[in-house]
A and B are shown apart, each in its own frame.
Chain A
Amino acid sequence: MSFPLALLGDFGEAIKFIFQERESVSGGVQIGGIPEMADFGLTHMHVSIVAILIAAALAIPLSLWLGHIGRGEFVATATSNVGRAVPSLALLAFFISFIGLGLNNVIAVLVLLAIPPLITSTYVGIRQVDRDAVDAARGQGMTGWEIVSKVELPLALPSIFGGLRTAAVMVVATATIAPLANVQTLGTPIITPQTYGFVGQLGASIVVALITLAVDFVFARLQRVVTPAGLKISEMPARRRFSFTTKRSFKPT
């Protein structure tokens, strides 16, 4: 295995780091290898999943309701603009300096980052539902709740899952800098080169990149699965394409 990896130079060393334990740069400690990476990976996933669940529980019902009553467009667009402009590093540093280190603070930061794309995608998803369809639903005697659950929500699901996909990718990516707040995720080798060296940084980067791409892929599939068949058949030619509202436009990390 070592021969072909050597050809890859730094990358070969980095891949070896992922699979094999070695002594740290400063000496005395064993680093790298599957057990340690798995340990980091579990923490990474733990903070990410918890953050997304909390963000979804807060943001989706709120913006479903806002979208249904047709209010709060300003809130929906403003959060997305502000959300994009605040650097994740600045937000994390803000929490570290003003509130403190630790797991809960990291999760709080990730929740804050995940909320804007969820609000925007849910709100826009609901508002994009053909008003004639909603009107027809009301005309047939559906109640407010029935309109939401049977008409608006199914038609908005692709957009909502688009938001979830963005939020998930963002959260997993941002969890990489969690070690700055003393939470040991896959970013730990990246943030502490004095122990892990460049090879460790590169190895961790490879793992983080692969995991993020996997998350992106899985959510892209989910998005496809939840799209109602009638919308899937083809792009409706008459419909205006929305460039940046429902699709991925958040990348704060």
Chain B
Amino acid sequence: MEASATHSTAEPLEFCNVTKRYPGTAAPAVDGLSLEVPAGEICVLVGPSGCGKTTAMRMVNRMIEITSGDILLGGRSVKERKTSELRREIGYVIQHVGLFPHRTITENIGTVPKLLGWDKARIKQRSEELLELIGLPPETGKRYPSQLSGGQRQRVGVARALAADPPVMLMDEPFGAIDPINRERLQNEFLRLQAQVRKTIIFVTHDIDEAIKMGDRIAILQEGGQLAQYAPPAELLTYPASRFVEDFVGSDRALKRLALQRVRDIDLWTAAAIRVGTPVADARAKIAEADVRFAMLVDERGRPLGWLSDRALTGERVTEELRSPARPIVELDDVLRDALADLLSSETRYGAVVGVDGALAGVLSLEVIQHFLQAAPTESPTGADLLAE
């Protein structure tokens, strides 16, 4: 199953100076849009309503015709393709899903394969694979859309789009009609799915948080259909290209960046890890080398027990006298925003960072985070990377 779900190669997608002008309107809906989406990446088109993001997306499968410019799919102009054939090669997911109410789930998923002339056995097998992939029990296939919940229907919409293994997918506010809790679950599920299938995806949303979470790259469009900025999420948050982008991403963009980062990815402070009975001289030497003036008492497996008090270092050997417990404890895999929340809610300003084995790996402080925020986002991962790990 894995094999057939992932075998197809994604194609790169390129907008070349694409303009859409509706007859009878002075201003273009999309104005000279140029951007490249590398194969297998999610490009989020985001912007306020009326910015032309949906129009831009719908020109890819020519649900809307291009006025001037061109869109290249795998290096080939979409304009020279027959529309129905082009669309069968492009997965299509919309907010209201648009499942066919008179067809079973299996038949809905099999829509494009049937158009492509697959035989029945193959369509059935493919439907079953996809149901499994989206986490629905196989018997769902026999049901009708009216018998499914909104979230289930949305999953089926995604499965339907994936049915013929298209190299490119278009998603128009796919989670827009889902309540916040289920939306987050569907987003996470989808990112995991994308880690397996690696499609080139154009994803339209008006929600900047969703854009930051879902996008490998984000294209912010402004009114008049102009591209305001096209960049990976972290870059967008760090270096907004204009006042418009700055306003659109919001004044909390620093916090948003923290949501894109894990503790392991930033430069932590070091702290001396000291066991009971260590010669005080050795301990002092270790402390002098570390970034932090205080030492952490650890057990024999290196797990933090608490911050040592000065008195513990007065004798010959280190005794078990603590100034404060080792709280909060942050894991290397924690998202930076959550770690910051832990720091802020505890009395100490230093968080002990531990690895998977529980051993001390470093110290997180407000200064560390501040330093990170001031640095350039060279290798910031995206939301998809965070989930894929």
Direct contact, A vs B (beta carbon within 8 Å) = no
